[in-house]
Each structure stands twice: as structure tokens, then as C-alpha cells.
């Protein structure tokens, strides 16, 4: 396999850096199996609403989460199967016995 070009590597680095934050990882896992609103995510993650909202904004801008609005409620979910696979692969790697 050849090394991707610099533009692709730069985008990959950005995604991995964004996904590697502890709170953002907790948020991604909180919405891994079902979409949730900010209040539900706050409760599950155990962080303040302002922190969760800020991190969700970063994840949304990186196309790692998507948004669905229903009236005044905003629901968040993983953007696609690639994000789910990324979480699963890293999780499996960490748990792998050496």
C-alpha cells in the first residue's frame, strides 16, 4: 500500500486528534447505539452541559456526529458506520492481549 498524499494524511491526523479527546470519546460512546439529546448525553457522560455542547460542536464540525432537530430538541448520533468502526477497531486493539 502506498502512503496517502499529504492532504489526505492531514485530514486523517485531524480526525484522529479530534476523536482522541477523553470527553469526546465518552460522548461518541454515549451515542454509539442510539441518538440522544444533550441532556441525555450530559447525564451519561457526567460532564457539564456547556462542555458537552462545546465538544458536540467540535465533533459535528469534524463530521463525526450528525444532528436531527425535532422542535426545540436536538438529537445527536454517530455520523456514519465509519465512526462506529473506528471506535470498535481502537477498542479491540486496546483490549488485545499481547
Q: What is the pLDDT of residues 70-92, one digit of tens each?
A: 999 999 999 999 999 999 999 99
DSSP character at residue 43: H
How far is it, in rounded angstroms, from Cα 24 to Cα 29? 9
pTM for the full predicted model: 0.93
Checking 38-41 for CB contacts under 8 A at 24+ apart, the result is: 38/74, 38/76, 41/76
pLDDT in tens, 60-72: 999 999 999 999 9
Q: Which three cell numbers stand for residue 35?
A: 441518538
Q: Are strands 65-70 and 36-37 parallel, antiparallel or unpaired?
A: unpaired
Domain map (residue ranges) of the chain: 6-95
Asked if residue 56 lies in contact with residue 38, where contact means CB atoms within 8 angstroms, the answer is yes
CATH topology assigned to domain 6-95: Arc Repressor Mutant, subunit A (1.10.10)
pLDDT category of residue 1 using cuts at 50, 70 and 90: confident
Q: Can you read off the three cell numbers belonging to residue 85?
A: 468502526
Amino acid at each position: 500500500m502506498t502512503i496517502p498524499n499529504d492532504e489526505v494524511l492531514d485530514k486523517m491526523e485531524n480526525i484522529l486528534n479530534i476523536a482522541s479527546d477523553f470527553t469526546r470519546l465518552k460522548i461518541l460512546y454515549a451515542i454509539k447505539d442510539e441518538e440522544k439529546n444533550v441532556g441525555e448525553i450530559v447525564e451519561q457522560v457526567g460532564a457539564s452541559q456547556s462542555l458537552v455542547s462545546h465538544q458536540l460542536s467540535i465533533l459535528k464540525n469534524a463530521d463525526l456526529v450528525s444532528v436531527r432537530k425535532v422542535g426545540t430538541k436536538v438529537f445527536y448520533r454517530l455520523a456514519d458506520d465509519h465512526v462506529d468502526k473506528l471506535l470498535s477497531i481502537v477498542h479491540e486493539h486496546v483490549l488485545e492481549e499481547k
